[in-house]
Amino acid sequence: MLKHKTHFFAALLILLLHSTFANAQIINQLESLVMPGPLSSAHAEYENTCTSCHSPLDQTRQDTLCIDCHKNVGADIADAMGFHGRNPLIATSECSSCHTDHEGREFDIIGMNRETFDHTFTDFPLTGAHLTAQCAECHTNGQELYQATSTCISCHVDDDSHRGAMGEICSDCHTTDDWQEVRFDHSQTKFPLRGGHVDITCNNCHVDTRYTQTPTNCISCHINNDDHEGRFGTDCATCHTEESWTPIAFDHSQYSEFLLKGKHEIIECEACHTSTSPSQVVATACIDCHVSIDIHRGQNGSDCATCHTEAGWKTTDFNHNIETEFVLSGAHQKVSCYSCHRGDQPATDFTSTQCVDCHINEDVHNTKLGQNCQECHTETLWTQDITFDHDFSSFPLVGLHSITACEDCHLTQEFNGTDKSCSSCHVEEDVHKQTLGETCSDCHNPNGWDFWQFDHNTQSEFKLDGSHAGLECAACHTTPTSGPVVQASACVDCHRNDDIHNSRFGTQCDRCHVTDTFKTIRMQR
């Protein structure tokens, strides 16, 4: 307390002297008399000018005077940087509370204990391996402590395997825990790591630790994986993904006008892309790929899609009923195309739709019935369900004829020109032995051979009466004929042996005789 009072009175005396005397030398001598002790070697030059550090009667200006001299400290405090700017205790403390002077030339005015110094309040807090580093490793001799650089490269230049190629901000990748521990955020670059790229090592892409100007196109790393030998270009991402080199995810619908559907979805790219040239223009016509399996040998044209589908080469969906004028029905629905489309004639040029064009070899009629097979046959089955209407022919079938088998009359398949005469079929049944001619229908009808009716009185010029009425036909008709029945009607033609007159009365027996009995005579006058 006495020492402080002494300082106070000394200062008061100096002030009085300043106001009384103007002689600076006297003032300096008086200041020296009241100085509590020698200054530190750093401040020794100011020992004779107390006002450089002290302001008489205004102790608060002392910190200002310190900062006026130690401008770097003042700048740190103003910018909240460095030890003096970051330590909250300094803002409420005087400089002299830590930096005591007038303790002699050898006194350590800084008073920093390196063992207990808290680096947290500096611009470079110590973390990781830096916590165990020696001060001298960063703070070199002849350099003020605050002048130590905080850049990684200043200490780790010998550890920089990149040889400066990655710059000096090592903390972008490395951590203070371990130099070998890298934690680079690749997402901040122009090439974010995704999918399979996440787990690969840096050297896979950055050969010889070259990180700048590393190419980012796929082919630069995957040229050995390119089974296409460059023919699909260098933009591998068109087909491949970052998740895995396989499977392939090429969207053919996006990059091509040829949509892959059905079987095309699972075939290998090389099945169509055969050239090693990246600029290959792949033809998209079906025949370009399928010419070797075109069993039509080109006769159906090159647009295979007219009949075939992408679901399978053997699956066809050609609608003959819509695409052509020849509707396929019945047995035609199941026949192969080649049953009708034969030879080298293109299917598109096929114009013949007549039955005989396909069925000529099956025409048992030898074209005798013409080419309109459908008049009798149907598309269901060639040899069954024949529907010929005989009523529209020149010989309508009635009676027993309607149930008679065709072959009973048509002994061959050449139906046209069949003899329509009764005798052609019934000659064996002609008990008259053709003595009544061949026109059996004059007496008989188709309902039965035994059903017959002939009226000799109305259907001929010779009436049967008397004994003639009960005569058998064969009694008069004895001569076979193939033409019209011509029978002599004179009495003598039948009764010549009965003529006891030996023709003396002529041949007109009916002038005397009657038909009841030949012996009855009717005289005419």
Q: Please, which residues have CB within 8 angstroms of residue 525's CB and are 6 or more apart in sequence?
A: none
Polymer length of the chain: 525
Q: Please, which residues have CB within 8 angstroms of residue 388's CB and are 6 or more apart in sequence?
A: 375, 376
Look at residue 241 and tell me whether its pLDDT is greater than 70.
yes
User: If we measure between CA atoms, which residue out of 447, 435, 509, 438 comes closest to residue 475?
Assistant: 435
Structure tokens at 109: 């005015």
DSSP 249-290: ---HHHH-SS---GGGGTS-GGGT---S-TT-----SHHHHH
Structure tokens at 201: 């090592």
Give the pLDDT of residue 20: 43
**Residue 523 DSSP symbol:** -
* Distance in angstroms (rounded) separating the CA atoms of residues 52 and 58: 13
Structure tokens at 367: 């074209």
Helices (runs of H) and strands (runs of E) counted in the chain: 17, 4
pLDDT tens per residue, range 14-43 = 555 444 444 555 555 555 667 888 999 989
Q: Please, which residues have CB within 8 angstroms of residue 260's CB and are 6 or more apart in sequence?
A: 252, 253
DSSP 374-432: GGT--SS-TTS-----GGGSSS---GGGGGS-HHHH-SSS--TT---SHHHHHGGG-TT
What's the longest Cα–Cα distance across the chain? 226
Look at residue 2 and tell me whether its pLDDT is greater than 50.
no
Beta strand residue intervals within 423-504, DSSP E: 444-445, 448-452
| Cβ–Cβ < 8 Å for 477, 431 | no
Mean pLDDT in the chain? Answer: 82
- For the segment 163-167, the average pLDDT, to the nearest whole number, is 79
Reported confidence tier of residue 499, pLDDT bands at 50, 70, 90? confident
Lowest mean pLDDT among 44-48, 62-66, 141-145, 157-161: 141-145
* Distance in angstroms (rounded) separating the CA atoms of residues 111 and 108: 5
Give the pLDDT of residue 313: 81
Residue with tokens 């149930």: 403
Give the pLDDT of residue 152: 87
* Distance in angstroms (rounded) separating the CA atoms of residues 196 and 215: 18
| Cβ–Cβ < 8 Å for 260, 252 | yes
pLDDT tens per residue, range 377-397 = 888 887 777 788 888 888 898
Tell me the domain boundaries of the chain: 35-150
* Distance in angstroms (rounded) separating the CA atoms of residues 364 and 283: 51
| Cβ–Cβ < 8 Å for 101, 39 | yes
Look at residue 160 and tell me whether its pLDDT is greater than 80.
yes
User: If we measure between CA atoms, which residue out of 319, 322, 284 comes closest to residue 303?
Assistant: 284
Reported confidence tier of residue 278, pLDDT bands at 50, 70, 90? low
* Distance in angstroms (rounded) separating the CA atoms of residues 453 and 512: 32
pLDDT tens per residue, range 392-438 = 888 898 989 988 888 888 888 878 778 888 888 888 888 888 888 88
Phi, psi of 199, rounded to the nearest 5 degrees: -95, -5
**Residue 314 DSSP symbol:** E
Give the pLDDT of residue 88: 87
| Cβ–Cβ < 8 Å for 172, 211 | no
| Cβ–Cβ < 8 Å for 142, 160 | no
295, with CB counted inside 10 A (0-12, 13-18, 19+), is exposed
**Residue 330 DSSP symbol:** G
Give the pLDDT of residue 31: 59
* Distance in angstroms (rounded) separating the CA atoms of residues 42 and 102: 11
Reported confidence tier of residue 6, pLDDT bands at 50, 70, 90? very low
Alpha-carbon distance values, 502 to 277, 494, 495, 499 (Å)? 127, 14, 11, 6
Structure tokens at 427: 């000659």
* Distance in angstroms (rounded) separating the CA atoms of residues 483 and 494: 22
Q: How many CB atoms lie within 10 A of CB 409?
A: 16
pLDDT above 90: percentage of residues in the chain: 3
Helix axes 24-34, 2-20, angle to 10 degrees: 180
pLDDT tens per residue, range 53-73 = 888 767 777 888 999 999 999
Look at residue 360 and tell me whether its pLDDT is greater than 80.
yes
Reported confidence tier of residue 294, pLDDT bands at 50, 70, 90? confident
Report how far apart the first and last C-alpha atoms of the chain are (Å, whole number): 218
Helix axes 61-69, 71-79, angle to 10 degrees: 110
User: If we measure between CA atoms, which residue out of 165, 198, 163 comes closest to residue 184?
Assistant: 198
Alpha-carbon distance values, 388 to 384, 399, 400, 424, 522 (Å)? 12, 17, 17, 22, 63
| Cβ–Cβ < 8 Å for 114, 135 | yes
pLDDT tens per residue, range 309-321 = 888 887 777 788 8
* Phi-psi region at 166: left, alpha or beta (left = phi > 0; alpha = psi -120 to 50): alpha
Reported confidence tier of residue 307, pLDDT bands at 50, 70, 90? confident
Reported confidence tier of residue 283, pLDDT bands at 50, 70, 90? confident
Reported confidence tier of residue 4, pLDDT bands at 50, 70, 90? very low
Give the pLDDT of residue 215: 87
